[in-house]
Structure 1
Amino acid sequence: MASGVVNIRRDVDDKFYRYRVPFELSLSMPILNTKIEGKGNGIKTVVPNMSDVARALSRPPTYTTKFFGCELGAQTSFDEKNDRYIVNGAHNAERLRELLDVFIDKFVLCGSCKNPETELVILKSGRNEDIIRNCAACGVQSGVDMRHKLTTFILKNPPAKSKKGKKGNKGDAAAGVGGGGGGQDDADGAEANGAESDDELTKKIKAEAADLNPDAALANEDWSADTSPEAVKQRIKALEGNMANVAINGDDEGSDDDANSPYAQLGRWIDESRDEQDDPKAFAVAIYKKAEELGVDKKHKTLIILAQALFTDDIVAEIQSYGALLVKLVTSEKHQKSLLGGIERLVGLAHPDLIPAVPKILMGLYQIDVLDEEVVTTWGTHVSKKYVDKETSKKVRKASEPFLKWLEEADDDDDDE
């Protein structure tokens, strides 16, 4: 069965929504499946991939299993050593998936911003204990319904504490730490590879991108702002709208996770407009103007959405067609990292059959000068859970090895000369 993903919040109908969990059978992130065993009074429902689903939510599989038991009025049992999680009785997969949505709403999603990037924390006040969802996305602490039977189980089996000193590092989900999907903003490669986080890497912005390729027709397009009085009024109006978004989202860049953010709007616009465009160069200009209209033409997060929305399974050829647009948008190290993150999501989640083509994709981006050697080398050698789950990140980076080897050999040749 083909692999795929579904939003952690299944009520969000947006394929650019960042937080996702398994939908169909996949080697890396399968959907919650069930297997009925036994007969009569001994019949039981085994969830063979409970660990994988719980890991996507950064919650222990014992929590989700126990929750099913509480909701269904059934006994549960777990054998963590052998990775077996059982709910007594016969229950179909769809019913358990519906209950999983309820679990996500009650014990994963932030009570304020509804993002799943949370960790459970137990707060003690005298003899009382409360369970709090501590959100890394918006910083709000929201409580859970302490009347639910699962809270008793959580208090008796508290989540492991997250490691200190690592931004967004929620630890291993199977240990019960943190929240959010495979795309959460934790440190690049922090857990097992000792990679630096974005905050620890250099913040220096490189010089403005070189002039657009004179051979490209796109270079002749007018990228400058219209200074007519009417155009100025329109830009002021757009700026006011963008400032409203800033107030709502709580940061100066908005969020690429919000279905109503300018990033998501840009992604949907590209997706809906692609079939109407016959000329890639004209479409590139239209994309830039749309990003400018939404106020995200200079934001590095724009590249995450652009990579997913613009490119298809013919990405190697499309890089050349849209090269001038990429050169115009990629103006810093952060932009390069976001572009690579978007490529990770494209080939790792949407088009896993493209993973063998990663060296050609990187070569295409390198040849149009939107990737620096140091940035792509660091990216390729440090696994990260920032944009996709860890296993997918490993696969994509493993596939990049031929390109990284070519870079290293090219450096050696230069040194010899």
Structure 2
Amino acid sequence: MAGFVNIRRDVDDKFYRYRMPVLLTKIEGKGNGIKTVVPNMSDVARALSRPPTYPTKFFGSELGAQTSVDEKNDRYIVNGAHDAKRLRELLDAFIDKFVLCGSCKNPETDLIITKNELIVRDCKACGERTGVDMRHRLSTYILKNPPKNKSKRKGGHAEAPNPSNEANGTAGAADIDEAEAEAGSGDDEMTKRIRSEASELNTESQLVDEGWSADTSSDAVKARVVAVTSGVTSLGLIGPGEDESDEDADSPYTQLGNWVKEYPGCNAVEVYKKVQELGIEKKHKAVQILAQALFTSDIISEIPSYLPVFQKMVTSEKHQKALLGAIERLAGLDYPELIAVIPRILMEFYQADVLDEDVVTSWGTHVSKKYVDKDTSKKVRKASEPFLKWLAEAEDDDEDGE
């Protein structure tokens, strides 16, 4: 039977009251099928007041390994052979990043998702709310699979921490008071609809605060009519191998492309609402149009702002290929300077779980003339080789685990 250790293993006090079971591991299988099972993951997670899927996914992210979860049979698996010492070290890292209060280092915290889709640790001991690293892949997973806190505040969400405090891991009292005041107002129907479909998107109340609405003045209407009649083909959004027959001025794709050009700087919620308005939120071509219209030569800094839209809309291999096609056109035709940063672009979408390893690998090894000419297609794929190599080496490390 496993013993118990302090949740903070840097604390030697034998009277320290926050304890958890020692993490156990069991290696099963052999060869390419070897895997590490954590038989007491549920017990450890219960002591940390976190779902057992969170530390499991954290292990996979840090080790570059695939994970599998069978909650019904209480089996939590990390592919590859990993010794207990290494996983216990990673568990300490998980506790530090996603359990301990950033202010008092007390583990008595709940994870709360704010209205701005940030994750904060709400400490029951000192009352502080401190942010977590939103760049970590586990943060994306948590947004998609939010914790079921037993004692949520009214409204279910808290306001985001003050940006000035977030840098040092604290949230001010004024921010908490404001959060509690706003939480009591509840969410409207649009907010509930968007949140139920995609936790990545902001709330309707934010749109109202920002004063976004359609300009119905005569000048604005005329401007939109002129923009629509220009057509998507005039924007260069259609590839050489694609069917242009339906891209007239009334096409929803034409309207979407021109709308983005007409309203530069539109945020993720505005974009998704427009896509819904046009009824093309599930169409793969809408993904391509958006990527080409939203992004510029500064795509690396622009991607984080629009990731929520792509995380919501990219739901199949066909959608992923459309996104990759848009990247081909952006780097191969519109902004040649982006050729040098193709690996970084792919990494941004991969780490956000928008692009899958198999799809990117297949794309990178098969030249296509669907979106650009053959020579440009080769050039873009050649530039992607460092990222493809990294994927292959990560897979090899997974298989050779020990």
Calculate the TM-score normalised by the size of structure 2.
0.40
Structure having the larger proportion of residues in helix: 2
Q: Which has the higher contact order (CA 8 A, sep 6+)?
A: 1
Calculate the TM-score normalised by the size of structure 1.
0.39
